[in-house]
Chains A and B, each alone.
Chain A
Amino acid sequence: MAEEKNDRIQAEAGPTLDRREMFVRLGLGSLGVAAVGTTAFAYQFLSPNVLFEPSPVVNMGRPESYGQDSVTLDVDTRIFVVRGAEGFFALNAVCTHLGCLTAWKPEIDTIACPCHGSKFTREGVKKEGPAPKPLPWLRMWLSEDGELMVDRSNEIRPLQFVRV
């Protein structure tokens, strides 16, 4: 009923708002703005701006400390340093399935995940299990004083070896 009356008034007087309708729209509009603002503030508040997480760049020590044809897991940095015939490379040791820490099994020449049984070659290629992707290769270089450096945030294409 009230709407019909409003329509009639509008039809007679052209596209005008009556006072009540204006305040309703103003009120709903400001509530909408407040809701969007609150959501934005909540999202920003819940996202930390400063994280006390370790640096992605890590020093893996002298190349000589790794034996010929070896696969070494560093539990703290969660990377494998592999020394093969072609040279050194670094693999991310975090399983690409659900994030567990994999381990090197020398007796079967395999990197294996304890959580859901994914298995990888020492080059990170998946052999079996639920992992959707191979273990990523990480950028590795020699620092000025001859130590192996790895950037864990920088994934590279496989088979790029560091020769010492």
Chain B
Amino acid sequence: MSVRVSKYFDALTETRAWRSVFRGGSGSSTLHRSMAIQQNIFLHLLSTKVRKRMISLNTTWYLGTLTLGTFGILVITGILLMLYYHPSAPQAYADTKDLQFVVSSGQFLRNLHRWSAHAMVFLVFAHMFRVFYRGAYRAPREFNWVIGVVLLLLTLLLSYTGYLLPWDQLAYWAITVGSNIASAVPVVGDRVRFLMLGGHFVNANALLRFYVLHCMVLPIAALFFVAIHFWRIRKDGGLYAHQKDAASVSNCDSGRPQL
């Protein structure tokens, strides 16, 4: 049975339609396998060749991958929640309650969204601590550390803007306090707060602005920087694997192959 399936699959990979999509063709040679990575828009961001040490659990604890995983859950559950949520002052709170008590699986999706958000903030910090204490931010990876800091800020902003959307007392006062912190910026603070809230109080304008930031602006920005972050891993010589021998650290830093 399995032989027959694999025979059909092999025949499929030789068809003209298949070859028009996957230019590299099939085969298990090193060339074919690296082509499969290089010529795929999603995979080409990643390294073509990875050492086993780099992808062992002990090297990274997979914290970056787990962060991406929570981001994926947040995008999917977020899009589903958007189908029942109206970002308007009279409806937002009622919609949130409907999601909890009326919509089938609504409570599950909303809780999944919320817990993943908390997990993502935790994982981003854990990932950064791991990178920092392992020294993986050093040359040639300094720029990717900077991209990582941008992603940390985007994560926190996503978390903050999402906090207002249930439109309950906790959300309202948290955003009141947070926006007053923003107004502590010298000189332009009050203008920053005004533009952020679209008014002088946390009000209907603020809810809509936070919604647009939370569902459009920030996720697109995050996706953009995630793409750069992953591509830079490849460009900077792959995932950082700790060197036991101090003398070989420079080898690793130059991105040359490690033994």
Contacts and interface: CB of A to CB of B under 8 A. Distances in A.
A46 B195 contact: yes
B200 interface: yes
Given A46-B195, A47-B194, A48-B205, A100 B200 contact: no
Given A46-B195, A98-B181, A51 B176 contact: no
Contact of B203 (A47, A53, A98, A100): A53
Contacts of B201: 53
Interface string A25-52: 0000000000000000001001110011
Contacts of B195: 43, 46-47
A48 B203 CA distance: 13
B177 interface: yes
B198 interface: yes
Interface in B176-211: 176-177, 179-181, 194-195, 198-201, 203-205
A61 interface: no
Contact of B176 (A43, A46, A53, A98): A98
A14 B199 CA distance: 56
Contacts of B199: 48, 51, 53
B173 interface: yes
A99 B194 contact: no
A32 to B, nearest CB: 22
A44 to B, nearest CB: 11
A159 interface: no
Contacts of A51: 199-200, 205
A115 B180 CA distance: 13
A112 B149 CA distance: 38
A47 B176 CA distance: 19
B176 A100 contact: yes
Contact of A98 (B177, B198, B200): B177
Given A48-B198, A51-B199, A53-B199, A98 B180 contact: yes
Contacts of A52: 203-204
A63 B180 CA distance: 34
Contacts of A115: 173, 177
Interface string B156-188: 000000000000000001001101110000000
A156 B60 CA distance: 60
A122 B195 CA distance: 34
Contacts of B180: 98-99
Q: Which 4 A-B pairs have CB atoms at the shortest separation, nearest pair first?
A: A98-B177, A99-B180, A98-B180, A99-B176
Given A99-B180, A100-B177, 12 more contacts: A43-B195, A46-B198, A47-B194, A51-B199, A51-B200, A51-B205, A52-B203, A98-B176, A98-B177, A98-B180, A99-B176, A99-B177
17 contacts: A43-B195, A46-B195, A47-B194, A48-B198, A51-B199, A51-B205, A52-B203, A52-B204, A53-B199, A53-B201, A98-B177, A98-B181, A99-B176, A100-B173, A100-B176, A115-B173, A115-B177
